[in-house]
Amino acid sequence: MKFKMLTAGVMALCLGAGAVFAAGEPQVVRQELMKKIGGSMGALGAIAKGQKPYDAAAVKTALSTIAESAADFPNHFPAGSETGMDSEAAPAIWQNMDDFKAKAMKLSSDAKTVLASMPADQAGVGQAMQTLGAECGTCHQSYRLKR
């Protein structure tokens, strides 16, 4: 009985440690950052399509999140994190790291530029979506694999 308890305890500890371990892994960190960018794009998209009313605070939050997350994004591709944890990162990232970083920085700086001029209505948000959205596609074309 005691042995069973001990085993269960050790197993629980291991599982817990595993979860903590996974949370800090670069693959997971970068996936979270991409989800933040996607979520922000979704918030802008809902306004652009007229599904939600124009809301300056929401637009500001979304653009800031995109700018910050995109700037941090390329910091999470160390050697050894090429695969695992359902990573969709393409090997091309490590072959063209400078270009990959430049593309992430461009998304960040363009989001800041849009933020500085602050889209004032639904049409303005739609315009911003087109600019930033094209950059999603350009980068994903070379650097993301669908598994």
Partner 1 sequence: MASIVAKFVLAGLAAAVVGAGVAYALTKPDPHPEAYWADLGAPDLARGEILFWAGGCASCHAAKGAEGDALKLMSGGRDLPTAFGTFHVPNISPDPKAGIGAWTVAQFGNAMTRGVGPDGEHLYPSFPYGSYARMTKADINDLFGYLKSLPASSNVAPAHELNFPFNMRLAVGGWKLLYFSDAPRVDLANASEAVKRGQYLVEGPGHCGECHTPRNVLGGFQTGQWLAGGPNPEGEGRIPDITPGSSSIGSWSEEEIVAYLETGFTPDFDSVGGSMVEVQKNMTHLPKEDLAAIAAYLKAIPAR
Binding residues for partner 1, per CB under 8 A?
38-39, 41-42, 45, 88, 90-91, 129-130, 133-134, 136-138, 140-141, 144-147
Rg of the chain in Å (alpha carbons): 19
Smaller CB distance to partner 1: residue 39 or 124?
Answer: 39
Question: What is the DSSP code (8-state) at residue 21?
Answer: H
| Cα–Cα dist 25/30, whole Å | 9
| Cα–Cα dist 53/47, whole Å | 6
Q: How far is the CB of 65 from partner 1 (least distance, A)?
A: 13
Smaller CB distance to partner 1: residue 4 or 146?
Answer: 146
Q: How far is the CB of 89 from partner 1 (least distance, A)?
A: 11
| Cα–Cα dist 72/52, whole Å | 29
Smaller CB distance to partner 1: residue 24 or 137?
Answer: 137
Which one, of 98, 25, 36, 23, lies nearest residue 67 by Cα? Answer: 36
| Cα–Cα dist 135/133, whole Å | 5
Q: How far is the CB of 59 from partner 1 (least distance, A)?
A: 15
Q: How far is the CB of 133 from partner 1 (least distance, A)?
A: 6
Smaller CB distance to partner 1: residue 83 or 113?
Answer: 83
